[in-house]
Amino acid sequence: MFDAHLDTPAKINLFLAIRGRCDDGYHEIDTLFVPLSLSDRVRVTEGGEGIVLVVEPAILPTDSRNLVWEAARRCLEGVGFEGGVSIELTKRIPIAAGLGGGSSDAAATIRLFCRRFPECSKKARGIAASLGADVPYFLDPRPAWFGGRGDRCVRPVGLASPIELLLVRPRGLQFDTAEIYRRVAPLPVPPRSRMAALIAAMERGDLAGICANLHNDLTWATEGIYPERRAIETALRRHGALGTGMSGSGPMIFGIFPDPASANRAAVALPRSWERLRTTVLPV
């Protein structure tokens, strides 16, 4: 009987530039994803009837409204399997925070079904893309430059050394990704040389160079609805962060620190009204 699990990493975007709007309503972007040590866990066990999803803690739906359930359904339909499966999803990644937790969980589900049904591998990318723009990234989560709607890998990116992070947001604050993108206004497009400089800094382990080239166009889409953002970034820098930014559509803010000790000190010093999570970008 098949019984396997995967840890599903969160991500941050070190760079996110909006290049334009597509005919289907999505936006054309350039983004640089990096996976984090912070992760959920997905476990798939064959047996029973239908698709039974259990989420711990019980903070998410367990039916077709959950990307894990929907990924399982599409995989099983794709291979013509009529048996049952049980799926356990253990959540550690904050939801609706710009960290890609739901997409990562869905991609891990697809990867697990590809283990059980090798023929599913031919359909994996199509299923992933049908579930969400960034789900394809998590089929092979490593530092990478992605284009298109955020679903097309331009190139993998090397990372010479770990990046120590502190993640911060006001407790309970969540953003809807689609709503943030609807708020996007035309902006000057940053040159791709900024992305090239960021990649070069990552590949030589240059934290100062990485921090000098952080960029996220969606930051400006949160103006007027996220008054705490500037205060969080200011506090992170005051407590030793070399650079700060918002991940994806937010609201999670990350601070890049020179070492684990300084990140840990900042986590203790920041207000308790803010959620604080320590994590690391690890070389793959």
Question: Does residue 25 carry a pLDDT above 80?
Answer: no
- Give the strand pairing for 215-216 and 274-281: unpaired
The pTM is what? 0.95
Q: Which residue blocks in the chain are alpha helix, DSSP H?
A: 67-79, 101-116, 124-131, 177-182, 192-204, 207-212, 218-221, 228-238, 260-269
Where in the chain do CATH 3.30.70.890 domains reside?
A: 155-281
**46 has which bridge partners?**
85
Structure tokens at 226: 């996220």
Q: Which residue blocks in 60-147 are alpha helix, DSSP H?
A: 67-79, 101-116, 124-131
User: 201 pLDDT band (50/70/90 cuts)?
Assistant: very high
Q: What is the CA radius of gyration of the chain?
A: 19
At residue 282, the pLDDT reads: 86
At residue 187, the pLDDT reads: 73
Instruction: Give the CATH superfamily of 155-281.
Output: GHMP kinase, C-terminal domain (3.30.70.890)
Better-predicted residue by pLDDT, 185 or 126: 126
Question: Does residue 23 carry a pLDDT above 80?
Answer: no
Contacts of residue 231, defined as CB under 8 A and 6 or more positions apart, other chains included, come to none
- Give the strand pairing for 85-90 and 51-56: parallel
Q: Return the CATH fold of 3-152.
A: Ribosomal Protein S5; domain 2 (3.30.230)
> Residue range 23-33: average pLDDT?
85
Which residues are known to be catalytic?
A: 11, 134
Buried b (16+ CB within 10 A) or exposed e, 185-218: eeeeebeeebbebbbebbeeebbebbbebbbbbb
The burial class, CB within 10 Å (0-12 / 13-18 / 19+), for 34 is buried
Pairwise CA distance, residues 164 & 256, whole Å: 6
Pairwise CA distance, residues 101 & 176, whole Å: 13
Average pLDDT, the chain: 95
Query: Taken in order 271, 272, 275, 277, is the CA torsion positive or negative?
Result: positive
Question: Does residue 12 carry a pLDDT above 90?
Answer: yes
> Residue range 28-49: average pLDDT?
96
Least confident of 117-126, 149-158, 189-198: 189-198
User: 250 pLDDT band (50/70/90 cuts)?
Assistant: very high
